[in-house]
Structure formats: structure tokens, C-alpha cells
Amino acid sequence: MSSENKSKTLAVVNCAQLVTLAGPARPRVGPELRELGIIAHGGMFVRDGLIERVGTSDEIETMLERDTEVVDALGHVVLPGFVDAHTHPVFGGTRVEEFEERSKGATYEEIAARGGGIQSTVNATRATYEEVLTDECRRYADWFLRSGTTTIEAKSGYGLSLEDELKILRVIKRLGRETLLRYVPTFLGAHSIPAEYRSRREQYVSLIIEEMLPAVAQQKLAEFCDVFCEQKVFTTDEAWKILSAARCQGMGLRIHADQLSLSGGAQLAAELGTVTADHLEHTDAAGIAVLKKANVQPVLLPGSVYALGSTRYPAAREMIDAGLAVVLATDFNPGSSPTPSIPMILSLASTQMKMTPAEGVTAVTINAAYSLNRGAEIGSLEAGKIADFVIHDCSDYRELAYFFGIEHPRSVYVHGNLFSRG
Ligand code: NIG
Ligand code: FE
């Protein structure tokens, strides 16, 4: 066989637990969230970046070819790469000053009302050249990978003008090409009403619908559209208009719903049949019931509750018990959730939301992958899927949620390629 036709093979052997998440080809609900498909003393064979077989380490060792690279997992846990289904990873500057103010007692809402908050990051992002913004945000790609995340959903939303939103989406596209991290882009022009439109908000909604959405769709820069639906941000009527227009442009729909108040976001998500409804800190039993009926996946973001100093976590237990296909994500952003760490989210999910470690793992792998329309490719370790996997520094997967504040991964592979820290 000539060398260019030869396939590249990789065998992972000697895993204490190969956490496969193998199961039905759909998001997991109810008790299924606790079924991780663990193979004790497991192994995996990868050819050209795709998983060819999973089994016991002994079975995999019989498959070795002459040039197979053998990765000894040394009795550690191996999981699919985490899929972070809600992030805002492209922004200029930081908000450390506001963070300090909040540490002295100011609230997130007070800071936003005096022109800080999202608007201050919009100002910083607009003022940053595309090249520089790309370089600044490479740092965050590195952080995600280091903590074991191999795919993120990435929202725009700190530009809020046609040119600046397109700039952010181009940065996302470029980071996806130039780093090992996989990005799934979402257009969030409806993140906030920018300062220059405050007194004529309907014109900003028209700008989104008539100019931004068509340009984003035409340039194929986003797969999803999201709206921050909240009494003081975009009303349910405005969100309905924007999301309906996005659907006409062929985009999938997501929505920030009921984060700061019970504002009808869950009902709107159900009415529109969005793929996800995110946050849901204030969603009540009626909201949970309509989301179930419409098959909307909740994306829960305990990092933002924690970082805002609140104790109002979403009702994860009730959602799981109602049969919803729960997803957990970081909400990585410079204001309300400055963490790229899925292990931190797993810790919060178990300690604050009473999700078991197994439910947490399902919510950040296979369920998250389905919420991004990637369930057939990533989110589990099964033959035919992409070899995105992580060897963690523990021999029991529950340690990921239990030991918090540390980086667990020893090695991170994306499409069969080893990530090395920048
Ligand atoms: O998901 N809810 C809206 N957006 C972000 C906050 C963004 C910011 O403060 O910059 C969130 O929490
Ligand atoms: Fe968010």
C-alpha cells in the first residue's frame, strides 16, 4: 500500500473505565441519564480520526497493526470530549473592574443599568481589530481544551451592529479552523439593545431581521440563532419576531429564557419549538410541562448562578423527573460566567442542583451533542463516531464532579489528534 493511502491507527488501552455513553441514537431522558455504558478495563481502536471499535482492552490489543500508535491510559478514566452547548467565547477585554465592584456589593443589574455589563463588553469588542480579537480569543480555546472540552457552541452578541456581529462570527469561524477546538456558531445579535438604539428599540429589531439575519445566512456564518428574552432586554413579542425570521433563513433556534425573571421565555420556546431553552432559573412547573410537550432541551447554566452570587439554581431534578433531555453548559462569558470549565459545572450540578455525577456526564456529552445537531458524530464513544476523547487523571468518573477546582485531563484528543497546550 502506498504511504498516502495508508490509514493512521491509534489504540487506547488499559482504561480503568471507558465511559462510552453508548445507547439509543437520541438524547437521553429520565433514568437513561444515569446509564453511562461503562466498559471496565476498556479500550478503543481509532482509524483516521474515527472510532472503529470499542471493547475491552484485551479485545482492542488483538487489533493492533504494525504502525498502530498505542496510547496507554494507565488505569485512568476515558470519556468523550465534553460538548459545551452554550458559550460566548469572543469578546474584547474583560470585566474585572465590575467583578471587583460586585465583590463590594453592587449587583449585575445595577451595573448594567449604568451602562456597564454587556454594553461595556460591546464597546471593547467593537474597538478591537478582527486580528487582535482572534488572537485574544485563542487563549480561551486553549482553556476549553485543557479542561477536556472538544466542542463548543459559540455565540456572537458583543458586536450589536451588522459589521461587528459579522466580525465576531468570522473570528469564530477562523478559530474553528486554526485551533483543535470545534466551534458551532450561533448568531446572537439580540443579546442587548445597543446604547445608540435605546430610544428606538423597534429599529434595532428591524435591523436584526432585515439586515443582520440575511447577511449571516448568506455568508453561512451561523447554524443557530439565539435571543436574550427577558422583560428588560428583548420581550417575548420581539423574540418571537426575530426567531421566526431566523427560522425562515434556515437557522436552528435557541433562546435565553427566564434567567432573571419568569418572563414567558419557556412558553415561547415551546410555541416556536426551539431546539433549546437556556438558563431557566425562574421557570416554574407550568414552564417545565410545556417544554416537555414541545420536546425542547433545557440547557442549564449553574456557572452563571454561582458567579452572580445567587442561589437560585434551575429546577434540574424536576426537569429530569419530567422527562426532559437536560443539558449542562458553562455559559462562558466575561460578565455572568467567566469559566470555561465543565468539571466546575459538574461540581455545581451535583452539589447545588442534586444531579448525580452520571446525570451530569450525560448532560455534558451526548445530550449536549444532540442539542447542537451533532448527536450522530460526537458525544459518545461508539464505532463510526469522531475520536474526540479525554484521558482524565482518575480511575472513577465520579471524581470529575467530586474533586473541584483542578484540571482533570492528562491528554485530550480531537479527531484522533493530541492537543498540546499552547
Ligand atoms: O448568558 N444572559 C445573557 N448573556 C450572558 C451574560 C453576558 C454578559 O454579562 O456579558 C449570560 O448570562
Ligand atoms: Fe448566555
Query: Are 388 and 378 in contact, with CB atoms under 8 Å apart?
Result: yes
Mean model confidence pLDDT for the chain: 97
The DSSP bridge partners found for residue 77 are 17, 392
pLDDT of amino acid 4: 62
Ligand 2 centroid to 131 CA: how many Å?
Answer: 24
Candidate from 120, 337, 339, 345 with most ligand 1 atoms within 8 A of CB, to mutate = 337
**Does pLDDT of 179 surpass 70?**
yes
pLDDT digits (tens, 9 = 90+) for 104-142: 999 998 999 899 999 999 999 999 999 999 999 999 999
Q: Whose CA is nearest to atom 3 of ligand 1?
A: 228
pLDDT over 90, % of the chain? 96
pLDDT digits (tens, 9 = 90+) for 387-410: 999 999 999 999 999 999 999 999
pLDDT digits (tens, 9 = 90+) for 18-61: 999 999 999 999 999 999 999 999 999 999 999 999 999 999 99
Question: What is the CB-side half-sphere exposure of residue 7 using CA atoms within 13 A?
Answer: 13
Tell me how far CA of residue 199 lies from CA of 193, 194, 204, in angstroms.
10, 10, 10
**Is any ligand 1 atom within 6 A of the Cβ of residue 256?**
yes
Tell me how far CA of residue 161 lies from CA of 171, 190, 204, 320, in angstroms.
15, 10, 9, 39
Distance CA 1, CA 54 (A): 26
Once rounded to an integer, what is the mean pLDDT over residues 212-223? 98
pLDDT digits (tens, 9 = 90+) for 367-386: 999 999 999 999 999 999 99
Query: Are 254 and 276 in contact, with CB atoms under 8 Å apart?
Result: yes
pLDDT of amino acid 31: 98
pLDDT of amino acid 3: 53
The DSSP bridge partners found for residue 186 are 155, 224
pLDDT digits (tens, 9 = 90+) for 135-161: 999 999 999 999 999 999 999 999 999
**Is any ligand 1 atom within 6 A of the Cβ of residue 121?**
yes
Query: Are 281 and 352 in contact, with CB atoms under 8 Å apart?
Result: no
pLDDT of amino acid 232: 85
**Does pLDDT of 5 surpass 80?**
no
Ligand 2 centroid to 257 CA: how many Å?
Answer: 10
Distance CA 134, CA 118 (A): 19
Tell me how far CA of residue 104 lies from CA of 97, 99, 369, 421, in angstroms.
11, 9, 39, 35
Report the SS3 class of residue 90: coil
Once rounded to an integer, what is the mean pLDDT over residues 187-199? 97
Candidate from 118, 125, 230, 278 with most ligand 1 atoms within 8 A of CB, to mutate = 118
pLDDT of amino acid 2: 52
Distance CA 377, CA 256 (A): 26
pLDDT digits (tens, 9 = 90+) for 253-300: 999 999 999 999 999 999 999 999 999 999 999 999 999 999 999 999
Tell me the whole-structure pTM to 2 decimals: 0.98
pLDDT of amino acid 256: 98
Helices (H) then strands (E): counts for the chain: 17, 17
Crossing angle for the helix pair 265-272 and 285-294, nearest 10 degrees? 10
Distance CA 279, CA 111 (A): 20
Q: Whose CA is nearest to atom 7 of ligand 1?
A: 335
Rg (CA), the chain: 21
Once rounded to an integer, what is the mean pLDDT over residues 52-79? 98
Which of 164, 163, 216 is closest to 187 using CA atoms?
Answer: 216
Listing DSSP states for 319-363 in one string gives HHHTT---EE---B-SSS-----HHHHHHHHHHHS---HHHHHHH
Which of 252, 254, 243 is closest to 301 using CA atoms?
Answer: 254
Report the SS3 class of residue 317: helix
